[in-house]
Structure 1
Amino acid sequence: MREPLTSALTRAARAVTARVEQVLSPEGLTLDQWLVLVALAGERGLTMSDLTARTTASGPTLTRVVDRLVATAVVYREVDPEDRRRVRVYLSPRGRALHKRLATKVDDVEAELLGRSGAKVLDVLHRLGAE
Structure 2
Amino acid sequence: MASASPSGKSGVSGTPHLLQLVFVGVVLLLVFPTPTPATPIDLTSVISLLADNVIDRLFSEGQMTLLGHRCTYKKQPRIYSWQLQYQAEVFCPGWTSLNGKSGRYLSSNTALREATKNLMKQAVDKGLVTKEEAGEWL
TM-score band, normalised by the shorter chain?
under 0.3
Greater helix share, structure number: 1
Where relative contact order (Cα < 8 A, 6+ residues apart) is larger, the structure is 1
Report the TM-score when normalising by structure 2: 0.24
Greater strand share, structure number: 2
